[in-house]
Structure 1
């Protein structure tokens, strides 16, 4: 989905210290994407293969923006060599890539770290963690 230019720009961000931690990476990507979408969509277009960009821009605005940020997140994970998950922020970042293989890795990590699992926190915020409530 990302073009060589997109991968190059992600590498530049990484070399500039984007991923000192995964939460910071998420914030930086969102800010960069928001800035490019509002001021330089012509430049952002170059980050994607032409067919992918045509598809993305045919979608409603919110769906398109979410696809763009997910693709950029995946580009970060790929550029870093898809490292093993070591903390909740990284697991959350992987989930937000919306890639099946990364989601499977998060699920595996969550089995070993249930208290840190980002999926658990989401269930509790929505009040859906019935099994947990029954155990306490």
Structure 2
């Protein structure tokens, strides 16, 4: 999905020393994407293959923006060599890439670290005690 130019820009971002952890990576990607979408969509287009950009621009604006950020997140993970998950923040970042293989890695990590799992816990319904009906 990312073009060589897009991968190069991610490498520059990571080498620039502005990103020290997964949370900063998320914030930086969101800020860069927001800035480029509003001021330089022509430049952002160069980060993607022509086929991917054509598909992205056919989607509604919010879906397109989310796809762009997810692709850039995946580019960060790929550039770093898809490191093993070390903490909740990294697991969350991997989930937000929306890649099946990364989601499977998060699921495996969550089984080993259930207290740190970034997935939202679903509300559990509990039955009322029998005497509460009286």
Shared fold, TM over 0.5: yes
Q: What TM-score comes out, normalization by structure 1 length?
A: 0.90
Q: Does 1:130 align with 2:120?
A: no
Partners of 2:31 and 2:20 in 1: how far apart?
16
Per the TM alignment, residue 18 of structure 1 is displaced from its structure 2 partner at its CA by: 4.2
After superposition, where does 1:35-114 map in structure 2 within 5 Å? 35-114=35-114
Q: Does the aligned pair in 1 maintain the 2:73–2:93 contact within 8 Å?
A: yes
SS in structure 2 opposite 1:2?
coil
Q: Deviation string for 1:26-76 (max 9, x for gaps)? A: 000000000000000000000000010000000000000000000000000
Q: Deviation string for 1:53-108 (max 9, x for gaps)? A: 00000000000000000000000000000000000000000000000000000000
Q: What TM-score comes out, normalization by structure 2 length?
A: 0.91
Per the TM alignment, residue 129 of structure 1 is displaced from its structure 2 partner at its CA by: 3.7
Per the TM alignment, residue 130 of structure 1 is displaced from its structure 2 partner at its CA by: 1.7
What are the ranges of 5 or more consecutive residues in structure 2 without an aligned counterpart? 128-134
Per the TM alignment, residue 8 of structure 1 is displaced from its structure 2 partner at its CA by: 0.2
Residue in 2 that maps onto 1:115:
115
Q: Which has the larger share of helix?
A: 1
What are the ranges of 5 or more consecutive residues in structure 1 without an aligned counterpart? none
Q: CA RMSD in A?
A: 1.4
Larger radius of gyration: 2
Runs of 4+ in 1 over 3 A off after TM superposition: none
